[in-house]
Amino acid sequence: MGRSALLIGCNYPGTKAELRGCINDVWDFKQTLTQCMGFDEGNIAIMIDTDQQYTQPTGKNIKAHLSKMVTEAQDGDLLFVHFSGHGTQVPSDDPEEKDSKDEAICPCDMNIITDADLTLIFAPLAEKDVKLTFVADCCHSGTMLDHDEVIITGPKDGTPPPPQANAASMQSLLAALGASNDDRDMKNRSLPFGDFKEMLSGMMGGQSVDIGNLRSSMSSLFGDDSSARSMDYSKYISMAKKAMAMMPKSGGQGGGGGGSSMFSSVMAAAGC
């Protein structure tokens, strides 16, 4: 029985999304896996964005390593994946998304990986006797694997949930435990959609990014490495352009309408 793990930490240094505790989470999980769970250090891959000596946790790198883990997994293996960083939600036209949003983890380059992407990556495991543990230490993580049932929904005995601790009380608790200010990361790990759009806009030289052009912007920035949702959009756009190019260029009365209707049909199929 093999055991392999991927530990991902994104602090987003120097950006408006900057966090402070995510790299610490990686080292804590590495220690737990090696000392308590029987994982060999050589079978634990680490991606962090604060040290160039390590593989950077870009969308491309994360998806490539996850796919490699899935492909190489044998019956009886244990896979462990941990992500610590920002989570976000982006608009979705998938009718199965009841809230019309895709949940997503935010790699260091903002090439987001949606719940739909993760479902596609992990789907081949259904044909294998492999156990996968996926820990998403970020906001919007409850349905990050797009499963139908939420495993943890709160107290099971009917009692009220415990009171929620606020930032002030957590600061007091950490201080009592001897933690310094530098050790404390109290920032929300949800990246608002507005901030996400602003960061993408900055990467595109100030070009406006909004709901209407989010997918095309992602595809423009990351090409074939962008989310499957963006790739679907690009595929339909390409189909539309090819269809338009093949339409006969008719002159005179009654011509010229076919290409427009063809484009509309293809865009409708894309959910645009």
3-state secondary structure 167-222: HHHHHHHHHHCCCCHHHCCCCCCECCHHHHHHHHHHHCCCCCCCHHHHHHHHHHHH
Position 208 pLDDT exceeds 70:
yes
Q: CB under 8 Å to 245, separation ≥6 — which residues?
A: none
- Binned at pLDDT 50, 70 and 90, residue 185 comes out as low
Please give the pLDDT value at position 12. 95
- Given 10, 22, 65, 86, the catalytic residue: 86
Position 213 pLDDT exceeds 90:
no
Clarify whether 139 is annotated catalytic: yes
Residues linked to residue 78 through DSSP beta bridges, in sequence order? 3, 131
Please give the pLDDT value at position 168. 62
Model confidence, pTM: 0.72
- Given 65, 108, 139, 140, the catalytic residue: 139
Question: Per residue in 11-31, pLDDT tens?
Answer: 999 998 999 889 999 999 999
Please give the pLDDT value at position 4. 97
Position 212 pLDDT exceeds 70:
yes
Q: Compare 185 and 256 and report the one with higher pLDDT.
A: 185
Q: DSSP letter at 31?
A: H
Residues linked to residue 79 through DSSP beta bridges, in sequence order? 4, 132
Clarify whether 140 is annotated catalytic: no
One-letter amino acid identity for 123?
A: A
Question: Per residue in 56-77, pLDDT tens?
Answer: 999 999 999 999 999 999 999 9
**CA dihedral angle for residue 228, residue 229, residue 233, residue 238, rounded to 10 degrees:** 0
- Binned at pLDDT 50, 70 and 90, residue 252 comes out as very low
What mean pLDDT, rounded, does the chain reach? 78
